Amino acid sequence: MEYRINRRTGDKISVIGLGASSISQAGEKEGIETLQMAFDNGINYFDVAGGDAKCFPYYGEAFESVRDKVMYQIHFGANYETGNYGWTTNLDKIKASIKWQLQQLKTDYINYGFIHCIDEESDWNAYQKNGVLDYIKELKEKGIVKHVGISSHTPKLIHKALDTGLIDMVMFSINPAYDYQQGDYANGSVNERMELYKRCEAEGVGISVMKAFSGGQLLDEKTSPFGKALTKMQCIQYALDKPGVLTVLPGIRGKEDLKEVLKFNEASDEEKDYSIISEFTPPEATGKCVYCNHCEPCPMKLDIGLINKYYDLSKAGDVLAKDHYRNLEKTAKDCIQCGHCNTRCPFKVDQMNRMQEIATYFESV
């Protein structure tokens, strides 16, 4: 398992985490065993916004003895009083729900306390007016909430939350469909979405990814907005290539789903190659590097995707990107302008030109 560090918190987070939307379908015995199997395979990051109340004790049972080795995203606003998932900004209900969730999870602290599902300006206002944000801050002061996060499908509202300086983790819906303006949660333009990823990376705020398969739609050619199916491996790699992303959180229904997701760790570069999406690239995204490395191998052994990512991040204000770039064994200066990448890039990036631009840029910063 690969791990990435949340720079604001120092937490070492597995690139594959798990969502909780479907785990109840496994039933208690398999649900607990599935979670233990996930932990045994290196998964240490769990979002617990369950589809219903039944799954919470599974986590309590599976992880009580290893609580300090797993991290929970717990949502202030997810309400299970009916037995099913509900959403609220009512402070008393949220307090009761958090108390209940902690009991079920057999824990007395929250790794990441999430401002839950803010998709409208009014949700964000209600969160502040009703005292929910102050409640999270109060729990943070008491050490019950270690870090604060926000889940949302809407870039402009995430920016507002980031402006508070409170946020250490963002849960956001990332997949090629949404990024290319297809689907129910394709909020924000191509550029707005990319600007959000870059801001998170620049400020050291991690992103945990929900809906990496667009609710399963991308996995079936009949429902894929592109008319072609992608694989889970391609979708996971796509999300992990975005700046700021630390972990992808697929929802699983039991051991078989988990085994399938874990195949990512063994998958070949070909299996994870998602360059097929270049066939669907909207005009505003054409010619922009998505860091996929489909254009490799470079005869000079340049990591083309990473060099481009550091360049974009540095220009977006990420002060660390310059040092990361300079520490690379090979940089844009080593490009011999052979043109191989230009012929291979399915996204029509003029990479030869870009390498010259990047070399000049890093000489002057």
Give the shortest CB-302-to-ligand SF4 separation in angstroms.
5
The H-or-E segment that residue 46 falls in is: strand 45-47
Answer yes or no whether residue 302 interacts with ligand SF4 by CB under 6 A.
yes
Q: How far is the CB of 294 from ligand SF4 (least distance, A)?
A: 4
Selected range binding ligand SF4 among 35-43, 97-105, 141-149, 331-339, rule: CB under 6 A:
331-339
DSSP tag of 216 = T
CB-based contact 56:62 (threshold 8 Å)? no
Lay out the sheet containing 206-210: strands in order across: 45-47, 71-76, 110-115, 145-151, 169-173, 206-210, 245-248
Among 132, 240, 295, 313, binds ligand SF4 (CB under 6 A): 295
The nearer residue to ligand SF4, 135 or 347, going by C-beta atoms, is 347
Distance CA 305, CA 180 (A): 20
Which of these, 356, 301, 363, 306, lies nearest to 332 by C-alpha position? 356
Decide: is 308 part of the binding site for ligand SF4 (CB under 6 A): yes
CB of 177 to ligand SF4, least distance (A): 18
For residue 215, the minimal CB distance to ligand SF4 (Å) is: 26
Q: In the range 15-74, which residues lie near ligand SF4 by CB under 6 A?
A: none
Counting Cα atoms < 13 Å in the Cβ hemisphere of 143 gives 0
Separation CA 139–CA 213 (nearest Å): 34
Q: How far is the CB of 183 from ligand SF4 (least distance, A)?
A: 22
| Given 49, 289, 313, 321, the residue binding ligand SF4 (CB under 6 A) | 289
What sign has the CA pseudo-torsion 130, 134, 138, 144? positive
**Number of other residues whose CB lies within 10 A of the CB of residue 228:** 13
Residue 311 in the binding site for ligand SF4 (CB under 6 A): no
CB of 260 to ligand SF4, least distance (A): 26
Our CB check for ligand SF4 shows the closer of 51 and 346 to be: 346
- Tell me whether residue 208 or residue 278 sits nearer to ligand SF4 (CB atom): 278
The residue from 133, 240, 292, 358 that contacts ligand SF4 (CB under 6 A) is: 292
The smaller minimum CB distance to ligand SF4, of residues 300 and 365, is found at 300
Residue closer to ligand SF4, measured from CB, 49 or 304 = 304
Which value, to the nearest 10 degrees, does the dihedral of the CA atoms of residues 176, 258, 209, 293 take?
A: -50
Binding characters for ligand SF4, 332-361, by CB under 6 A (x = yes): ---xxxxxxx---x-x-x-xx--x------
Q: How far apart are CA 176 and CA 230, in angstroms?
A: 10
Q: Which is nearer to ligand SF4, 132 or 345 (CB)?
A: 345
Q: For residue 264, give both structure tokens.
A: 């990512």
Residue from 290, 313, 321, 358 in contact with ligand SF4 (CB under 6 A): 290
Q: Is 14 in the site for ligand SF4 (CB under 6 A)?
A: no
Which residue do the tokens 């990420």 mark? 318
The rounded distance, in Å, linking the Cα atoms of 339 and 112 is: 46
Verify binding: residue 190, ligand SF4, rule CB under 6 A: no
Tell me: does residue 365 bind ligand SF4 (CB under 6 A): no
CB of residue 73 to ligand SF4, shortest distance in Å: 30
Verify binding: residue 300, ligand SF4, rule CB under 6 A.
yes
User: Which H or E run contains 279?
Assistant: none
Exposed e or buried b per residue across 179-207, where buried means at least 16 C-beta atoms within 10 angstroms of its C-beta: bbbbbebbbbebeebbebbbbbbbbebbb
Helix or strand run (H / E) with residue 68: none
Residues forming the site for ligand SF4 (CB under 6 A): 289-295, 298-300, 302, 304-305, 308, 335-341, 345, 347, 349, 351-352, 355
